[in-house]
Amino acid sequence: MTESIKLDIVSDVVCPWCIIGYKRLMQAISELGVADKVDIEWQPFELNPHMPIEGEDLKAHIAHKYGSSLEDQKRSQERMIEMGEEVGFKFDYFDGMRMLNTRKAHVLLEYAKGKGKQTELNMRLVTAFFSDRSDISNTDVLLQELQAIGLDPTEAKKYLENDQAHHAVIAKERYWQDLGVSSVPTFVFNKKSGLSGAQPVAVFKEILTELLNR
């Protein structure tokens, strides 16, 4: 039997399907009782790598990028809110909500990984954006969220100001894209097999069981 699973989750902190998929994954892990056998690492993917620093109105952004009408967007958000409630996550869509640039967030997620708190920070940032109406492209907001999980904001700010840290995130994004990752969330098991999308809990349970029984 396989002792453990290395699970890379390629995602963006402003991707609603990513948090839905992660919550379903964690439900599957909990129901199987295998939390100690799954090693999760978050990998960067920017849905909008060229987003200007001031961001863009969410409704206008979705209409431009996906061609969605306001009615379509409303229905989609209502469904997302329902799915969030099913997994214990709050989506708070509001007038004036903006799509943000997430490069700095991904840089700090790499910093947090080195401190053993990457998942904690990821959850803080996703919740800040979707539930708390926070601007997670703002450096001060990012550092506040990082400090809230017990990390040093002064040290993290120096890391964030290092150009090499930004280049490293871009290189990682290219690495996963070169492997064929074109949408998020993508779950990569043991660097061998990938699964895209916010799959049902039953699907995650089936895959985890199969891998651990090999």
Tens of pLDDT, residue by residue over 149-158, are 999 999 999 9
User: Nearest 5°: CA angle at 94, between 89 and 99?
Assistant: 85
Categorize the per-residue pLDDT at 87 as very low, low, confident or very high, splitting at 50, 70 and 90: very high
Categorize the per-residue pLDDT at 2 as very low, low, confident or very high, splitting at 50, 70 and 90: low
Please tell me the class of the 5-212 domain.
alpha beta
Check whether 1 has a pLDDT greater than 70. no
Categorize the per-residue pLDDT at 3 as very low, low, confident or very high, splitting at 50, 70 and 90: confident
Q: Which among 11, 135, 125, 14 is positioned nearest to 80, based on CA atoms? A: 14
User: Which tokens sit at 19?
Assistant: 């948090």
Q: At which residue do the structure tokens 């009615």 appear?
A: 71
Look at residue 57 in the predicted model and tell me its pLDDT: 97
